[in-house]
């Protein structure tokens, strides 16, 4: 009988206290929106399904992120990078959602894809590089490998370099991803913008790691680009990065 009473007490307690935990979670989310009311508008725009509205959402996010940068434009103080800890998690979620539109998240009307917005994905990738969270890095690697739009792949490669510029590439994940995408390039007609973005990112990684790259694939990739069928600007930049490796 006593055991039965204990079980009943536990069940009743769960019904009483569970809503309180749920209310606390909801209150935390509400507090974020009260402190940053523009986030609510940005979120509604992001999930609108309309290209122009989503671009407006990205403009709002960019303005918000710039407001988090230490420094003062009016006093000509250089603006410092954003501290990832200052970025509300909702921003990361929204950016990953927008960077997936028409690629990893596909909406169709009949047989027609109605959410293929490459410029939305490109800008979202750029801003993911700003916030520099682990989840942002993992998502950018996925977009680099899986998105079929050249300008989105190039932006993802550049954004990964921005991440590594401050956070490094200790495990070599970024270096391997950059090498992977170049390895799959059609060498008879390669993408110069993608290759240049990869070279710039490998340069940032090497500078962060005292003049070396954390994975040998990075060296192979630089040599491949320097000797590849790219425009002179790209091959010269790759050669410059190669020559500067190990100098620190």
What's the pLDDT at 38? Answer: 74
35, 64 in Cβ contact below 8 A?
no
* Cα separation values, 176 from 150, 167, 183, 201, 202, Å: 19, 16, 10, 12, 10
What distance in Å separates the CA atoms of residue 137 and residue 246, rounded to the nearest whole number? Answer: 26
> What average pLDDT does the segment 180-201 reach?
94
| pLDDT, tens only, 215-242 | 999 999 999 999 999 999 999 999 999 9
Q: Look at residues 235, 156, 154, 244 and name the one whose alpha carbon lies nearest to residue 207.
A: 244
DSSP-derived secondary structure for 3-56 = HHHHHHHHHHHHHHHHHHHHHHHHHHHHHHHHH-HHHHHHHHHHTS--HHHHHH
- What percent of the chain has pLDDT above 90? 69
Describe the crossing of helices 192-208 and 232-244 by its angle, rounded to 10 degrees.
10
Do residues 248 and 210 touch, judged by C-beta distance below 8 A? yes
Reference 185, options 202, 171, 198; nearest CA is 198
- pLDDT for 131: 95
The pLDDT value recorded for residue 1 is 53
Quote the CA–CA distance of 202 and 193 in Å, as a whole number: 14
Domain ranges of the chain: 17-71+85-152, 168-248
Q: Exposed/middle/buried for 112, CB within 10 Å: 0-12, 13-18, 19+? A: exposed
Is the Cβ–Cβ distance between 152 and 182 less than 8 Å? Answer: no
For the segment 12-40, what is each residue's pLDDT rounded down to a tens digit? 343 333 444 444 444 454 555 556 677 78
- Determine how β-strand 108-109 pairs with β-strand 112-113: antiparallel
Cα–Cα distance measured from residue 15 to residue 171, given in angstroms and rounded to the nearest whole number: 46
Q: Are 147 and 121 in contact (CB under 8 A)?
A: yes
At 83, the pLDDT band (50, 70, 90 cuts) reads very high
Which run of H or E residues covers position 113? Answer: strand 112-113
> Would you say residue 126 has pLDDT above 80?
yes
Lowest-confidence range among 14-23, 125-134, 186-195?
Answer: 14-23
Mean of pLDDT values over 99-120: 92
Query: What distance in Å separates the CA atoms of residue 38 and residue 85, rounded to the nearest whole number?
Result: 19
Please state the rounded mean pLDDT for residues 108-130: 95
When computed from its CA atoms, the radius of gyration of the chain, rounded to whole angstroms, is 23
Kindly report the pTM of this predicted structure. 0.83
């Amino acid at each position: 009988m006593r055991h039965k009473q204990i079980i009943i007490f536990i069940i009743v307690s769960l019904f009483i206290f569970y809503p309180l935990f749920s209310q606390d979670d909801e209150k935390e989310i509400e507090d974020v929106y009260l402190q940053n009311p523009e986030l609510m508008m940005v979120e509604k725009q992001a999930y609108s399904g309309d290209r122009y509205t989503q671009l407006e959402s990205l403009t709002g996010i960019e303005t918000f992120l710039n407001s988090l940068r230490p420094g003062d434009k009016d006093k000509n103080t250089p603006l410092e990078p954003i501290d990832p800890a200052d970025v509300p998690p909702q921003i990361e979620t929204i950016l990953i959602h927008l960077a997936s539109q028409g690629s990893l998240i596909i909406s169709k009307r009949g047989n027609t894809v109605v959410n293929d917005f490459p410029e939305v994905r490109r800008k979202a990738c750029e801003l993911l590089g700003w916030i520099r969270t682990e989840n942002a890095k993992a998502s950018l690697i996925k977009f680099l490998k899986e998105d079929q739009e050249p300008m989105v792949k190039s932006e993802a490669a550049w954004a990964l370099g921005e991440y590594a510029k401050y956070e490094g590439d200790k495990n070599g994940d970024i270096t391997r991803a950059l090498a992977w995408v170049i390895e799959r390039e059609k060498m008879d007609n390669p993408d110069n913008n993608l290759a240049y973005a990869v070279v710039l990112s490998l340069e940032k990684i090497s500078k962060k790691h005292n003049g070396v790259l954390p994975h040998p694939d990075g060296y192979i990739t630089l040599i491949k680009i320097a000797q590849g069928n790219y425009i002179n600007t790209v091959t010269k930049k790759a050669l410059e990065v190669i020559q500067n490796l190990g100098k620190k």
